[in-house]
Amino acid sequence: MGDRVSIQFKSDQDDGLGEDISEVLFHHWGGEGFVDLAKVFIKDLNRQVPQHHGCPISRRECRTMMVQFIAWLQKHGHCDNYNYPGFLSHSLYLGKDMHDGDNSDNGHYVLCAKTGRFLEHHTYNWETREQEATLYASK
């Protein structure tokens, strides 16, 4: 039982240095609303922090974006732990890729670190027990 989902940030540009992609954040009870929160976070970040100004946050480096997203969740009271005030929900955890946790209810979402638009969506196929891509956005 749950409303499982996972998200990940990815650069929409190839800079020749390899793929810039974050770790995966899983949320056991997050549902699709958690994906909406990630999009709100990017909009909020884009209002406050200009892009391409030299630091990892302004460059929207994906691993840094994930840390900032987790901090933003805490600051804005999202995903609070109801048993232990001041801590995040035990429902959140990190994984190295979309297969390193359970996102079987709502799938795995990859969002552009700069714009928040969907780059990929994968859903869990209960028959094959594998992730299947349902969306690959073109650049």
- pLDDT tens per residue across all 139 residues of the chain: 789 999 999 997 765 556 799 999 999 999 999 999 999 999 999 999 999 888 999 999 999 999 999 999 999 999 999 899 999 999 999 999 999 999 999 999 999 999 999 999 999 877 887 778 777 765 5
Cβ(51)–Cβ(65) below 8 Å:
no
pLDDT of residue 134: 79
Q: Let me know: does 20 contact 121? Beta carbons within 8 Å.
A: no
Q: What's the pLDDT at 71?
A: 96
Put simply, whether the predicted model's pTM sits higher than 0.85 gets the answer yes
Residues forming a β-bridge with 94 = 25
Q: Is the dihedral of CA 31, 32, 35, 39 positive or negative?
A: negative
The predicted pLDDT at position 16 comes to 56
Q: Taking Cα atoms as reference points, which of 106, 102, 110 lies closest to residue 137?
A: 110
Instruction: Give the other-Cβ count within 10 Å of 79's Cβ.
Output: 19
Report residue 25 as tokens: 């954040």
Q: How confident is the model at residue 34, as a pLDDT?
A: 97
Beta strand residue intervals within the chain, DSSP E: 5-10, 24-27, 92-95, 108-112, 118-125, 130-136
Q: Are 70 and 88 in contact (CB under 8 A)?
A: yes
Q: Are strands 5-10 and 108-112 parallel, antiparallel or unpaired?
A: parallel
Q: Where are the alpha helices (DSSP H) in the chain?
A: 31-48, 62-75
In angstroms, the CA 47 to CA 27 distance is 26
